[in-house]
Amino acid sequence: MKKISYFSLLFFIISHAIFAQSIDASFSQKKMRKDLELFKNIRVTTNSGLYKYRTSQEIDSIYNWAAKQINNSSTYRDFYNIISQLTDFEGSLHNDTSMSEKLNQSLKTEKSGYFPYPVKWIEGKWIMNYENEKIPLGSEIISINNEKIEVVIKDLYKYYTTDGINKTGKQIGLNYSFSRYYRLNYGLTETFSVIYKEANSNTTSQITLESLSYKNYYINVENRFSKPFDEVNYKNWNDNDIYSYKSIDKFTGILTINDFGMGNEEDQKHLKYVSFLDSIFTTIKKNDIKNLIVDVRYNGGGTDPNDLVTYSYLTDRNFSENKQAWISFNKIPHLKYIESNVPSFLRFLGVGKYNKWFQKEFYIEKENHFYQGPLSEDRKIRKPNKQAFKGEVYLLISPRIASAGSLFASMVAGNSNTTVIGEETMGGYYGHNGHTPFTYILPNSKISTSFSIVNLEQDVPKKENQIYNRGIIPDFNVNQTFEDYLNQKDTQMDFTRDLIKKNLKE
């Protein structure tokens, strides 16, 4: 009987140790330093985007900062935040930092400590995006727990990566996961002292809000006021929602492309899409449509060659996917730590074929970089389609646009017949890191760090209004107004249609 009690107690202790794990648990500085050293070595040897937007001095400086931060750190959350800051600093929307799945699941079971309501960025202000009796809908948040909202937002930017120093794209993540990010940065918080101003008022009010569980916060997110309008930023597109075309009058049509994830040349989805493009552009030409609105505001990327095939219907020039592309290695570094189901001591057996592919594709060595050769499919010269549109293009963009979506939008924005309307994209105009994702697992913290290894220079012209370390900059910067937010109206589409009418009159 005593033996049974002993093992029952032991099982309880072990179970408690496993299931009570938290990101706020202690984590030794020794383990932090070992993982930080490996993290830096991985980035230097494997990540071609490390110095894309940052000088070597800037990278050295932030790693010196990280080392000093460890001296003042004691928890897993502290270290996770250091790695998140380093990941974001590089400036690539394909960068990602994730804690272990066990700890990620532990967040979802937390019963309190979360800010209760979703917020949203509208007209330069962070507002309450939930109808409730505590804080009126649309009220501007001034501060939370004596921290100005501008400071809070800046602290949370590191959890949602974008290209270069782009900030608009980070709003996509903050609008949805503000409370989760707040918890990661500030820890569990039982109450929140909020100073706010009601809409159209200069008077501030203060209220104390009780925290919610992780689960209940996301229930509120699903019931946010703006969901009918902005769910397009977060949804997984059904096949029949991905693309569409409609004429709105005898002069103007709207082509909407919400995703380029339609497979490669042999995929039936791709073939169906190509047939759709050929059909609608034949109709556009036959009907002598003068103005084409190309709406890619909710296009987060996808697969080649869907973006390139689409562009062939919107250009009069020969083009290629990129001007150049390179990686940092010719043999995969740090194989022991790469994410894989294969035991580390066996990985050398299967890695040979991957190394051979890299060496074949990126065979031109220059200054420790390995460049694609001119015969690569990515460097292939493509021609305009015979049915290519020759009228005025009005390109609608938003912070959601990324990866293949931003490559396509950049190429269209570079055309002389294109007017770009909306908000700066999270994806860069001149290039990005993409194509091939790698994930490494840091051995002590089990933090996974992901990035794409191919440094791409996109085939776009230089333009005065396009900045190297930013997203695509619109010719007309148009944000949803507060009034249109309340009425769930599309400010950008309305602006575009009014602009077309004005241009037709002129």
The answer to whether residues 93 and 402 touch, using CB atoms and an 8 Å cutoff, is: yes
CATH assignment at residue 480: 3.90.226.10
Higher pLDDT, 352 or 278: 278
The answer to whether residues 115 and 145 touch, using CB atoms and an 8 Å cutoff, is: no
Average predicted confidence (pLDDT) for the chain: 93
Say whether both 389 and 422 belong to one domain. Answer: yes
Say whether both 158 and 220 belong to one domain. Answer: yes
Say whether both 315 and 397 belong to one domain. Answer: yes
pLDDT given at position 13: 40
Say whether both 146 and 274 belong to one domain. Answer: no
User: Is 98 part of a structural domain of the chain?
Assistant: no
| Sequence-ordered list of residues with C-beta below 8 angstroms from that of 137, at least 6 positions apart, any chain | 128, 129, 130, 131, 225, 486
pLDDT given at position 342: 80
**CA proximity to 226, closest of 128, 129, 362, 98:** 129
Write out 151-185 in H/E/C secondary structure: HHHHHHHHHCCCCCCCCCCHHHHHHHHHHHHHHHH
Q: What whole-number percentage of the chain has pLDDT above 90? A: 88
Mean pLDDT, residues 286-315: 96
Question: Which backbone phi and psi does 231 adopt, to 5 degrees?
Answer: -60, -20
Q: How many beta carbons lie within 10 A of that of residue 305, not counting itself?
A: 22
Say whether both 280 and 400 belong to one domain. Answer: yes
User: pLDDT tens digits, residue range 95-120?
Assistant: 999 999 999 999 999 999 999 999 99
Mean pLDDT, residues 294-315: 96
Which regions of 266-360 does DSSP assign to beta strands (E)? 291-295, 322-327
Say whether both 296 and 346 belong to one domain. Answer: yes
Residues in the chain: 506
Q: Which two tokens stand for residue 314?
A: 């919107």
User: Is 420 part of a structural domain of the chain?
Assistant: yes
Range of the structural domain that residue 245 is part of: 239-436+447-505
Residue 217 in this model has a pLDDT that exceeds 80: yes
Residue 9 in this model has a pLDDT that exceeds 90: no
Distance of CA 321 to the CA centre of its chain: 21
Task: Provide the sign of the torsion angle of the four alpha carbons 27, 29, 31, 32, taken in this order.
Answer: positive
Which regions of 249-290 does DSSP assign to beta strands (E)? 252-257
Q: Which two tokens stand for residue 445?
A: 């913290």
Say whether both 196 and 217 belong to one domain. Answer: yes
Residue 216 in this model has a pLDDT that exceeds 90: yes
Q: At which of 227, 254, 271 does a domain end?
A: 227
Q: At which of 201, 227, 253 does a domain end?
A: 227
For the ranges 156-160, 234-238, 493-497, the lowest mean pLDDT is seen at 234-238
Domains identified in the chain, total number: 2
User: Is 201 part of a structural domain of the chain?
Assistant: yes
pLDDT given at position 1: 33
Say whether both 132 and 203 belong to one domain. Answer: yes
- DSSP assignment string, 468-492: TTSBPPPSEE----HHHHHTT--HH
* Cis amide prior to 333 (ω within 30 degrees): no
User: Is 108 part of a structural domain of the chain?
Assistant: no
User: pLDDT tens digits, residue range 57-68?
Assistant: 999 999 999 999
Residue 348 in this model has a pLDDT that exceeds 90: no
Tell me the C-alpha distance between 327 and 373, whole Å. Answer: 12
For the ranges 45-49, 268-272, 338-342, 411-415, the lowest mean pLDDT is seen at 338-342
User: Is 426 part of a structural domain of the chain?
Assistant: yes
**CA proximity to 46, closest of 453, 435, 497:** 453
pLDDT given at position 5: 41
CATH assignment at residue 179: 2.30.42.10
Tell me the C-alpha distance between 432 and 449, whole Å. Answer: 18
Tell me the C-alpha distance between 120 and 174, whole Å. Answer: 8
Mean pLDDT, residues 239-260: 95
Residue 14 in this model has a pLDDT that exceeds 90: no
Tell me the C-alpha distance between 221 and 383, whole Å. Answer: 45
The answer to whether residues 1 and 408 touch, using CB atoms and an 8 Å cutoff, is: no
Task: Provide the sign of the torsion angle of the four alpha carbons 376, 379, 383, 388, taken in this order.
Answer: positive
Q: How many beta carbons lie within 10 A of that of residue 270, not counting itself?
A: 19
Say whether both 178 and 260 belong to one domain. Answer: no
User: pLDDT tens digits, residue range 126-163?
Assistant: 999 999 889 999 999 999 999 999 999 999 999 999 99
> Rounded to 5 degrees, what angle do the CA atoms 383, 388, 390 make?
120
User: Is 470 part of a structural domain of the chain?
Assistant: yes
Say whether both 321 and 172 belong to one domain. Answer: no
Say whether both 500 and 422 belong to one domain. Answer: yes
Q: Which two tokens stand for residue 347?
A: 């990985």
Tell me the C-alpha distance between 454 and 435, whole Å. Answer: 6
User: Is 67 part of a structural domain of the chain?
Assistant: no
Say whether both 461 and 376 belong to one domain. Answer: yes
User: Is 218 part of a structural domain of the chain?
Assistant: yes
Q: At which of 227, 252, 281 does a domain end?
A: 227
- DSSP assignment string, 432-460: EEEEEEEEEE-TTT--EEEEEEEEEEES-
pLDDT given at position 245: 97
Tell me the C-alpha distance between 366 and 343, whole Å. Answer: 34
Higher pLDDT, 351 or 16: 351
